[in-house]
Amino acid sequence: MSKTHGVIILLLLCCTMVFPQAAASPTRFVPCRSQPRLVGKCFAVRGRLSVYNGSPSVRLWKVGTHRMLGVSDSYTKEGVHHLPPNVAKALGEWQREVWGDYVVCPFTREKPEEMQLVCIASGKNLFSRARQ
C-alpha cells in the first residue's frame, strides 16, 4: 500500500469517528402493521386520541361507543413504532386531543369491559385541539 493510500484511509477513519451521524444510516419509520405479536387484522376507527394518567397512557376512544383502546408500546418490537410520526406530532402533549380516522392493529382480542391493546398504523383527517 502506498503512503497516499494510507493517508486516505486514515482520513476516512477520522471522519467516521468525528462525524458518526454521517456514517450511520438514518432511522426510518416502520409502521406497526409489521409487528410480529398482532392477534388479528388491522381495522379502521374514527375516534379521539388523548394522553391519560395510567398505563397505557395513550388511549383512543371509539366515537359512538363506550370503548377505549389502549395504544401500547410494550408489545412493539424494537425499531417498529406504535404511533406514526404525524399522529405523535399532532398529539404532542398531555393537554391535547386528536380527532381523526385511524387504522389500528390489535395486540389483544376485544373483550367486554376490558381495554383492547393496539398500535396505530396510520392516522388521517387529524384535528388537534386543547383537551376539553
Q: Which pLDDT belongs to residue 27?
A: 58
pTM (2 d.p.): 0.73
Residue 18 falls within a domain, yes or no?
Answer: no
Residue 6 falls within a domain, yes or no?
Answer: no
Q: Which pLDDT belongs to residue 21?
A: 39
Q: How many domains does the chain have?
A: 1
Cα-Cα end-to-end distance for the chain:
70
- 21-58: per-residue pLDDT in tens? 333 334 566 678 777 788 999 999 999 999 999 889 99
Contact 118, 71 (CB under 8 A): yes
Judged against a pLDDT cut of 90, whether residue 122 lies above it is answered with yes
Q: Which domain holds residue 41?
A: 29-130
Could you give the CA distance from residue 5 to residue 2 in angstroms, rounded to a whole number? 5
Residue 82 falls within a domain, yes or no?
Answer: yes
Judged against a pLDDT cut of 90, whether residue 116 lies above it is answered with yes
